[in-house]
Amino acid sequence: MNKRLLFYLIAFSGFQVFSQVTMTLEDCDKALQQNNLELLSEQYNVTAAQAAVVQARIWEHPILSADWNAYNPESDIYFDIKHQKTVAIDQLIYLGGKKRNEIKRSCQQAEIASLQLEELLFNLKFQLRRSFYSLYFDTKKNTVLESQISRIENLLTAYEEQAAKGNIALKEVVRLQSLLLDLKNQRFEILEQIVEERKDLALLTGIENPIIPVVNEKLLLEQFQMQLLNVDILVEKGKEKNPEFRIALKDIEAHETAVKFQKSLAVPDVNLGVGYDQASGAFRDEVNMRLSIPLPLWNKNKGNIKIAQAELDQSKTQSELRLLELKSEMQRAFDWWEENRREASGIKPTVYENLEQVNQGVFSNFSKRNISLNEFTDFMESYNSSMLHINERYKQLILSGETLNHLTNTSIF
């Protein structure tokens, strides 16, 4: 326990060595889109998918073939091209809608790649908001505990001096030491979260210096306590804009095209061409039409068609599953936000000032021996619990609201 505490204290103090940077959520959003390596990497998939569309539009090269004499035994002449040669050019002609379906399938894959990029940005922004607001409220908790620890350490030093002189019972010193240890343990748990949140923000934004969140808390809390529409309307918004669900729908379209493409492969293609024959044909210098087509006797691509149909049916089932998951997640997020909103709305705006004013008064009265140690420690435990609870409730209110923003892919708050 002590080793872990030492580690996080060193890690936390290490953050202080680097120059800290104050950033709003908008600043962090901008940094994420400019610096996040995962996002930059995913953009190459979009470029590749768009290039595949260009490639799908290209037809096969025509084939040029030629035939000429290598040795004329009658005249004992090598390469006797004056008397006989043939030249032909052939072009593969796709039938059954192959090229159309191939192009359409490539376009759909490009759309899916774009949606996957949008989905990644959508998820990264959600992680960013969670880490940003969690860091803000956890830092406030840490500030409260730091202040309390500093006050009690000063008080404990004075009590230890008085106990050494025999003016105060040792049990009072021990009680203060126990209170101080509890506060340090609580701070350790919060520091552990802060270190993780700062690490996440650094990875998301590409900014190594510790980020200090800048938040208009009053405006933020007012926004996230607005009365919402009902869950059904939120689900409809999610169906329209949630990238994960839109990918599931686009996946169905892509598999429908894949079925058509496999069916078109069962239709044989034609090689069409024209040829010139100098002397070996029925006429001299004749020009002939050329046509070749495979006979579809054995391979009608039935297996691949069944595979594509099975994958289409699977994509439809997965889409239904994703819709059920979206509805369930939306209901759970709405219920959690509603509970946090009720809790937060019961906290009066002046609660911070009132608690701090009473806290200072209790310290002053205890220093003057106007209240007992039991009364002092009881209030300290109550004060610390209240301050941590208030910040946790506000934190959960914002996080639950951001979950609704995330699921609908809109700025509800």
**Within a domain: residue 12?**
yes
pLDDT of residue 99: 93
Question: What's the pLDDT at 4?
Answer: 55
Residue 399 lies in a domain: yes
Task: With residue 291 as reference, give the H or E element that holds it.
Answer: strand 286-292
Q: Is the pTM of this model over 0.85?
A: no
Q: Could you give the percent of the chain with pLDDT greater than 70?
A: 96
Per-residue pLDDT at 2: 52
41 occurs within a structural domain: yes
pLDDT at 14 over 50: no
Cα 388 to Cα 5, 141, 155, 375, 384, distances in angstroms: 19, 6, 22, 20, 6
On whether both 75 and 212 belong to a single domain, the answer is no
| Residues 193 and 219 placed together within one structural domain of the fold | yes
Q: pLDDT digits over 166-223, tens only?
A: 888 888 889 999 999 999 999 999 999 999 999 999 999 999 899 999 999 999 999 9
Task: Check: CB of residue 108 under 8 Å from CB of residue 250.
Answer: yes
Look up the CATH number of the domain holding residue 35.
1.20.1600.10
282 and 141 in a common domain = no
Answer yes or no: do 211 and 87 share one domain: no
Residues 206 and 285 in one domain: no
Residues 204 and 256 in one domain: yes
User: Is residue 284 one of the residues assigned to a domain?
Assistant: yes
Is residue 140 predicted with pLDDT exceeding 50? yes
In a domain? residue 271: no
Residue with tokens 């350790």, as numbered in its chain = 188
Residue 105 clears pLDDT 90, i.e. is over it: yes
Is there a domain that residue 108 lies in? yes
Same domain, 212 and 356: yes
> pLDDT higher for 184 or 77?
184
d(CA 71, CA 264): 46
Specify the pLDDT at position 168: 84
Q: What is the pLDDT of residue 76?
A: 80
Strands 85-93 and 211-213: unpaired
- Percent share of the chain, pLDDT over 90: 70
Q: Give residue 401's domain range.
A: 2-57+99-266+302-408
Q: Within this chain, do residues 73 and 180 fall inside the same structural domain, yes or no?
A: no
For residue 1, pLDDT over 70 is answered with: no
* 23-65 tens-digit pLDDT: 999 999 999 999 999 999 999 999 999 999 999 999 999 999 9
192's CB contacts (< 8 A; 6+ apart) are 4, 8
Q: Are residues 128 and 197 in the same domain?
A: yes
Number of structural domains the chain divides into: 2
Is 290 contained in some domain?
A: yes
Both 220 and 152 in one domain: the answer is: yes
Convert the pLDDT of each residue in 288-318 to its tens digit: 999 999 988 888 899 999 999 999 999 999 9
Residue 413 is assigned to a structural domain of this protein: no
pLDDT averaged over the chain? 90
Identify whether residues 187 and 232 lie together within a single domain: yes
Residues 220 and 364 in one domain: yes
pLDDT of amino acid 137: 97
- The β-bridge partners of 407 are none
CB count within 10 Å of CB 251 equals 21
pLDDT digits (tens, 9 = 90+) for 264-293: 999 999 999 999 998 888 888 899 999 999
Is the pLDDT at 411 greater than 80? The verdict is yes
